[in-house]
Amino acid sequence: MIFMRGARWHARLRLDSGATKTETTKTAELEKAQQTAFAMWHSFSGEIRAGGAPRKKTFGPLAQDFLRYEKTQGRSKHMLYRWDMKIRVLTRHFGTKKPSQITKDAWTSYIVDRIDSGKGIRGGPLSRETLEAEMQTMSSILKYAHEKKLINYVPTLKLPKTAPKPASRPFLNGLELQQLLHTLEQRVADARGAEIRYARQMLLHYCAILAATGMRTNDALLLRWGDLDYEMTPSALRIITLYLRGKDQPRTSIALLDAIKWIDSWREICRATGPGDLVFSRGKNIPWNARERMKKALKQAGLLEDRFGRTRTPYSLRHSFAMAMLQHPECRVDVLAKVMGTSVKMIEKHYGSHATIVRDADLLHRIRTPDPLTDPETMAKLRIEANEYFAHQDEILVKLAEEPEADDDDEDEEPPVRADSALVAARSRFSLRRNQLALNKDAVKNA
């Protein structure tokens, strides 16, 4: 039905399912209002069939309800902050839309516009990580709407092919990390006052511990001394179990020998080491932010930016740990993912390419470097060197055999080595080399 309210006609729509909707036709002409109402009825029917619910709540209020709900679930401040920042961006476009109107096509239209016109922090194009964060936030809100029965299904959101490719994250290689730690140690030595020296000591240990454990920056800032448990493995290896709560749900990780050295060192220096005291704190359990302090140290060391111009941050220490571990041939990605509190997919996505290149280089080096047991030329040289050495040893043994034995009454002089024992010692030292030469007789003959 249509009715006049003010100077315009309005339509009240009712479906057989009982769903109702009242909306203005935005016209004062009766005939045009009837046509508009008929079109609105068809649109409303299609919306209900597509999964829309007869509710008036739009995306803006729904997103705020989602945030309030997540606060009650014990989410970390870090996650709530990230969601809040992304919701502000999404609300600009979807704020007045109903959840049922946020379809796959609507999302694709939005994300394509973001790629074309959006700008990052430095004024450049948006990164893939930013777009993925917005997509994950939208998916979480739509899942919440589905749980509240505001929509009948959750659309599958994807990034288009025109989205930027995943970029590797800035990290510090082994030499760069040593250079940073050396700079931090020098800053500690140059500190004038006790407070400045203590703050620089904290930064030194903070960087070293994060680079040796791979924990997130927020994990470190919320870490308390009571969250560290010293244990021994079945193979008598001393480790520290870390109970972390930085990103989302609490998790456990481990600290090995390198990290234990720095943790023990900081425990001796730290002013508050009670079970409830923060490991890194400005005092009175106030969380400590290392971003600006580390920026100064990176500038002083000439390491603020990597070769691609990307700025390094405290989070780069976590990436440095991942890259260092992945370069070991025996490193298992699934184990590393558990230690770092992430997924195998994320590790392969952000770190796999560079680590694979390093491993391939090591493999190519081993392939191209001749194996002494298989290379004929090397085998021939080894055979000549071994024969010359054994001939020289035989001359020494002959001289030892011709020397007279020492008098038993002379206690000041040590008795010379007997010829037979010297012979056994010489032969045993080179038995392994001769065995290796014997393993490849064909190669020696062909040399």
Q: At 428, which amino acid appears?
A: S
Distance from C-alpha of 255 to C-alpha of 275, rounded to nearest angstrom: 18
Count of structural domains, the chain: 4
Q: 65 with 136, same domain?
A: yes
Q: 264 with 348, same domain?
A: yes
pLDDT at 179: 94
Where the chain has pLDDT below 70, the residues are: 15-19, 47-56, 120-123, 166-168, 246-249, 352-380, 382-383, 386, 389-390, 392-394, 396-447
pLDDT at 63: 93
pLDDT at 406: 46
Q: Answer whether 295's CB lies under 8 Å from 305's CB.
A: no
Q: 191 with 325, same domain?
A: yes
pLDDT at 188: 94
- Choose the final residue of a domain: 346, 365, 384: 365
- Choose the final residue of a domain: 131, 147, 163: 147
Q: 348 with 273, same domain?
A: yes
**Residue 322 structure tokens:** 């991942």
Q: Answer whether 255's CB lies under 8 Å from 277's CB.
A: no
pLDDT at 426: 46
**Backbone angle region of 6, left / alpha / beta, with phi > 0 → left and psi within -120 to 50 → alpha:** left
DSSP structure string for 240-294: EEEEE-SSSS-EEEEE-HHHHHHHHHHHHH-S--STTSBSSBSSTT-B---HHHH
Q: 291 with 398, same domain?
A: no
Q: How many helices (H) and strands (E) does the chain have?
A: 18, 6
Distance from C-alpha of 38 to C-alpha of 11, rounded to nearest angstrom: 9
272: domain CATH number?
A: 1.10.443.10
Work out whether the CA dihedral 38, 42, 43, 48 comes out positive or negative: positive
Distance from C-alpha of 417 to C-alpha of 398, rounded to nearest angstrom: 12
**End-to-end CA separation in angstroms for the chain:** 102
Beta bridge partners of 22: 12
pLDDT at 361: 57
Q: 217 with 351, same domain?
A: yes
Distance from C-alpha of 322 to C-alpha of 270, rounded to nearest angstrom: 27
Residues 377-408 pLDDT 10s: 666 676 677 677 667 666 766 665 565 554 44
**Residue 158 in domain:** no
Q: 359 with 397, same domain?
A: no
pLDDT at 409: 45
In angstroms, the Cα distances linking 222 to 273, 360, 399, 404 are 14, 38, 73, 77
Distance from C-alpha of 4 to C-alpha of 29, rounded to nearest angstrom: 10
**Residue 157 in domain:** no
Q: 267 with 388, same domain?
A: no
- Choose the final residue of a domain: 341, 365, 389: 365
Q: 361 with 384, same domain?
A: no
Instruction: Give 278's Cβ-side CA count (13 Å radius).
Output: 19
Q: Answer whether 265's CB lies under 8 Å from 212's CB.
A: no
Distance from C-alpha of 416 to C-alpha of 406, rounded to nearest angstrom: 7
Nearest in space to 141 (alpha carbons), one of 118, 107, 105: 107
Residues 8-26 pLDDT 10s: 888 877 766 556 777 788 7
pLDDT at 200: 94
pLDDT at 38: 80
DSSP structure string for 26-75: S-S-HHHHHHHHHHHHHHHHHHHHTTB-S----HHHHHHHHHHHHHHTT-
Q: 26 with 119, same domain?
A: no
Q: 204 with 320, same domain?
A: yes
**Can you give the residue range of the structural domain that contains 409?**
376-446
Residues 56-100 pLDDT 10s: 578 999 999 999 999 888 777 778 888 999 999 999 889 888 898
Distance from C-alpha of 397 to C-alpha of 269, rounded to nearest angstrom: 61
Nearest in space to 331 (alpha carbons), one of 350, 359, 365: 359
Instruction: Give 378's Cβ-side CA count (13 Å radius).
Output: 9
Q: At 20, which amino acid appears?
A: T
**Residue 93 structure tokens:** 């476009």
Q: 254 with 274, same domain?
A: yes
Distance from C-alpha of 216 to C-alpha of 223, rounded to nearest angstrom: 11
